[in-house]
Amino acid sequence: MPDSVIQLGKTGINISPLGLGTMQWGDIVFTDLPDSNVDHDIRGAFGVSLEAGINLYDTAEMYGNGKSELYLGKYLKEISNNVIIATKFMPFPWRLSKGELRSALLCSLKRLGLIRVDLYQMHWPFPPVSIPSWMDAMSDAVADGLIRAVGVSNYSPTQTQRAYEALARHQIPLASNQVKYSLLDRHPERSGLVDLCKKLGVTLIAYSPLEKGILTGKYSTENRPQGLLSWRYNKTYLTRIEPILSSLREVGEVHGGKTPAEVALNWLICKGAVPIPGARNSKQAQENAGALGWQLSMEEVGRLDNISDLLSQ
């Protein structure tokens, strides 16, 4: 079975093989709901995740303009569990100095109610400031005790290598790279990023591991998503991916009735990635947690790989 804890890169920080992404906690979808309803639902998601042994919680200053960090900070005050908190710095083009990173970090720490954060990540590799310059700023924050580990997000293999080398000059390991990765988006494998991260000892964190709920199996050609999702995940697309959804269901039945979502998340864990699905309520969090405590066979992983490969042809 998958390990109950794994190491975050080469940092010595232990994390669960599955985390919780909190982007939805600051999502605009919630703006029409009373704050009390939102708080009740996501507090439930947080509590269920804790009970399941999930200790990695990922957020960002960009999620709801700090709203996600505020919710997480509120719940952290109510627990005694040893959790690992990750947040992100957005290098907007007008943020041009190392001081901008420090200022943003201090604001994130204030919202989270922390004196330091476990993992601080560059959200995107935006110009004009160079990757080495931002890694220098990260190293300063490590030296000042404001962050424990440095990560990046949405970095290509070349950009990951540059960040790794820049941090190495300060004797700091690059802990992670957070990228979009799922059975329906295997670009990290095809670009060589997965292999590079394994070679460098960098943890690959997978966001959107369930593709906005598409891999949960709740949508079909007869029950299509609404709103903006309906444009991308239309009837033609849902028809094309039905072989994957069918295989997820079949494999799940072999493992005692695991859901498509649980199988899709376990597939990522078997690939060596740390998926961070979102959860807006306790029910979704419980299903996410069902990906832990068991493991797909190599043959099952290969079967899902093969069916996924057919979609890219």
Catalytic residue positions? 63
Q: What is the DSSP letter of 4?
A: S
Other C-beta atoms lying within 10 Å of the C-beta of residue 32: 6
Q: What is the DSSP letter of 202?
A: P
Please say whether the beta carbons of 162 and 196 come within 8 A.
Answer: no
Q: Which two tokens stand for residue 199?
A: 């070679």
Angle among Cα 74, 114, 19 to the nearest 5 degrees reads 70
CA torsion angle 298 303 306 310 (round to 10): -160
CA distances from 68 to 71, 123, 144, 187 (A): 5, 15, 25, 28
CA atoms within 13 A on the CB side of 109: 18
Main-chain phi, psi angles of 5, to 5 degrees? -140, 150
Angle between helices 298-311 and 260-270 (to 10 degrees): 100
